[in-house]
Chain A
Amino acid sequence: MRAALLLYVGAVFVFVFAPIVASVVFSFNSDRFPSIPLGSFTLNWYETAFADDSPIWEAFRNSLIVSVCAATLSTLIGFATAYTDYRYGFRFKAGYIALALLPPTVPLIILALAMLAWLSQLGLSGTLTGIVVAHTVLGAPFAMAVTRLRLSQMDPSLEAAAWNLGASEWGAMRHVVLPFCLPAIISAFCLTAAVSFDEFAVAWFVSGLNKTVPVAILEILQGNVDPQINAIGTVVFLTSMALVTVAQLLLMAKGRKA
């Protein structure tokens, strides 16, 4: 019984990781329509996708700018919100927390339409700024959750002790709270960078001519089967998996308990 269940868990993991593995394998495979048996080894798809004049470079540049900016803003807002939740009680706090956590539960396609319409009113549609704004809305809840988890491990008397020893609130923040939260802050940054780097619905609606990588992939997808996607996809997988792995390891590492 136990063996059968574990085999089943194995099958679930195979299903979950099959497309990722397949994409990496196909990216080195010469066949345009990969099947079994596999064709020969090739770097052709990488050479085509990442040729010097390929539009994908522009997309990677845009994605890099957007994810760094969105991750920075998300992490700042997420930290401020988590600290507020940790330290203060106030009227309508439940509503405040709901507002902080709600955005990822709204379907992206709806958010995409709402963002497109609203950012057009503000004149931000079609700009990278517009995508950053939208991705910060999506990322802040994740950053908040990650930081809040870390803060819940902090002894509330620690900050009070710093005040008693003469530190101002700002001083205690700088010398006690921030250092304690640093792993979570870096973790939140990586995680929200991954969220932004992979987000395609809002980016597609809002981006206009300033495409990010997922939008570029989406547009190639609308054409025919094109193994270039596997080559680009492999790079994208590696990037986001690295970011999410670092984010998780930082959270798992048993930090000094205070």
Chain B
Amino acid sequence: MSGNSSLYKYTWRLPLLIWQAAFFVVPLIFLVVMSFWLVKNYRMQPDFVLKNWDKMFSRGYFWDAYWLTLGRAALASVIVSLIAFPASFALAFKVSDTTRRWAIFFLIIPFFTSYLVRVYAWQVILAEQGVINALFGTMGIGPVTMLNSGFGAMIGYLTLTLPLVVILQTFSLAAVDRNLIEAAWNLGCGRARTILSVIVPSAKIGLILGAVFCFILSFGDFVAPYYLGGSKPPTLSILIIDTTKSGQQWPRAAVVAICMIATLFTVAFAAIALAYGKPRK
């Protein structure tokens, strides 16, 4: 077509390229560049030194934070996936299409609704003098300390990721071929065996995707570990905040951020390989 047409074409194609290049790709590249710069008199100076990398990698607290964050995120993806599964199973197989659609409608809402205030509400509910301990008190238990612990952080991760994981699992379970399930029944598979050897493998991609999103979100979250997990020992996200906000050590925070991205990439690729890999006989 004419030159007019290519004006039309690029009017739609270029905005995204320009915007995400300038404000998404370049900032992430700059993050890497910055990790080789030095801070002098509270200002970053262009440089090319490995000092920041050396400093972070030689500190025990960086590695403590790294393993803590990795461990918690891995634990969260297992726990959240397990908690979500029966609910997703019910929504996929035990309710009508209309009910399922509305259930998903209501699960999408909290995903876009102030996570910060929800975590604050948990802080109040789980406190020593909070609602849960009042209930425990009437049963003669407690008070139980739930805040400022791994348990508190896990409640936060659940709050952040459970709706999303249920949605992803439900979609993949609902897409499982019903004939396959019926065939398993007819061939004499029990309920547990049908779920484990027919339904779970068929819905593998969605189940893994749910776990991966849970991992990514929990790995990067700072609100749950800070306000429910007690902030000490710090996770990588808290380390980034502390390093950035006090002392203006942006280059060192960048080192932490790059390690996080590298870890997430590795996990995501491993998961994709697992999800789309050939099933073992």
Q: How far is the CA of A7 from the CA of B34 in the complex (A)?
A: 52
Q: How many residues of A contact B (CB 8 A)?
A: 85
Q: Chain A CB within 10 Å — which of B12, B44, B108, B133 has the most?
A: B12
Per-residue CB proximity of B95-132 to A under 8 Å, as 1/0? 10000010101111110111111111111110101110
Chain A: minimal CB distance from B99 (Å): 10
Q: How far is the CB of A75 from chain B (nearest CB, A)?
A: 11
CB A165 to nearest CB in B, in angstroms, measures: 17
Q: What residues of chain A lie closer than 8 Å to B261, measured between beta carbons?
A: 106, 110
Which residues of chain A are near B133, meaning CB under 8 Å? 35
How long is the Cα–Cα vector from A108 to B133 in the complex, in angstroms? 33
Min Cβ gap A85→B in Å is 9
Establish whether residues A13 and B106, one from each chain, have CB atoms under 8 Å apart when the complex forms.
yes
Asked whether A41 is an interface residue with its Cβ less than 8 Å from the other chain, the reply is no
The distance in angstroms between the C-alpha atoms of A163 and B148, with both chains bound, is: 64
Q: Is the interface of A mostly helix, strand, loop or mixed?
A: helix
B123 and A225 form a contact (CB under 8 A):
yes
Closest beta carbon of chain A to B232's beta carbon, Å: 15
Minimal Cβ-Cβ distance residue in A for B90:
A5
- B residues near A102, Cβ cutoff 8 Å: 24
- Contact (Cβ within 8 A) B131 A34: yes
- For chain A, residues 8 to 37, give those with C-beta under 8 angstroms from any C-beta of chain B: 8-9, 12-13, 15-20, 22-23, 26, 33-36
**Residue A241 lies at the interface, judged by CB distance under 8 Å to chain B:** yes
Interface string of A54-86 (1 = CB under 8 A from B): 000000000000000000010011001101100
Is A160 in the interface zone, CB < 8 Å from B? no
**If the complex has contacts A80-B11, A140-B19, are A9 and B90 also in contact, measured as CB distance less than 8 A?**
yes
Contact check, B27 vs A237: say whether CB atoms are below 8 A apart: no
Which of chain B's residues have a CB closer than 8 A to the CB of A173?
Answer: 8
Stretch at the interface among B55-63, B197-205, B215-223, B271-279: B215-223
Query: Which residues of the other chain, B, contact A240 by a CB distance below 8 angstroms?
Result: 112-114
Q: How far is the CB of B73 from chain A (nearest CB, A)?
A: 10
With beta carbons under 8 angstroms apart, the residue of B17, B26, B115, B240 that contacts A109 is B240
Q: Which residue of A lies closest to B14 (CB)?
A: A80
Q: How far is the CA of A106 from the CA of B220 in the complex (A)?
A: 8
Chain B: CB-nearest residue to A227: B124
- Measured CA separation A93–B224 after assembly (Å): 37
- Chain A residues lying within 8 Å of B250, measured Cβ to Cβ, are 113, 116-117
What are the residues of chain A within 8 A of B26 when measuring CB–CB? Answer: 118
User: A2-B94, A33-B129, A80-B13 known; 13 other A-B pairs, CB under 8 Å?
Assistant: A9-B91, A23-B117, A34-B124, A96-B16, A103-B24, A107-B216, A109-B220, A109-B222, A136-B23, A140-B19, A214-B114, A225-B123, A233-B121
Chain A interface (Cβ < 8 Å from any Cβ of B):
2, 5-6, 8-9, 12-13, 15-20, 22-23, 26, 33-36, 73, 76-77, 80-81, 83-84, 87-88, 90, 96, 99-100, 102-103, 105-111, 113-119, 121, 133-134, 136-137, 140, 144, 168-170, 173, 191, 194-195, 198, 200-201, 205, 214, 217-218, 221, 225, 229-230, 232-233, 236-237, 240-241, 243-245, 248, 252
List the 7 closest pairs (A to B, CB-CB), nearest first: A107-B220, A233-B117, A19-B121, A118-B27, A5-B90, A114-B27, A19-B118
Instruction: Give the interface of B toward A (CB within 8 A).
Output: 4-5, 8-9, 11-13, 15-17, 19-20, 23-28, 30-31, 34, 44, 83-84, 86-87, 89-91, 94-95, 101, 103, 105-110, 112-125, 127, 129-131, 133-135, 158-159, 162-163, 166, 216-217, 219-222, 227, 237, 240-241, 244, 250, 253-254, 257, 260-261, 264
26 CB < 8 A contacts A-B: A5-B87, A15-B158, A17-B110, A18-B125, A20-B118, A22-B125, A80-B13, A99-B16, A99-B17, A100-B20, A109-B241, A109-B257, A110-B260, A113-B31, A113-B254, A114-B27, A114-B28, A117-B254, A118-B30, A134-B23, A137-B19, A140-B16, A169-B4, A241-B109, A244-B109, A248-B108
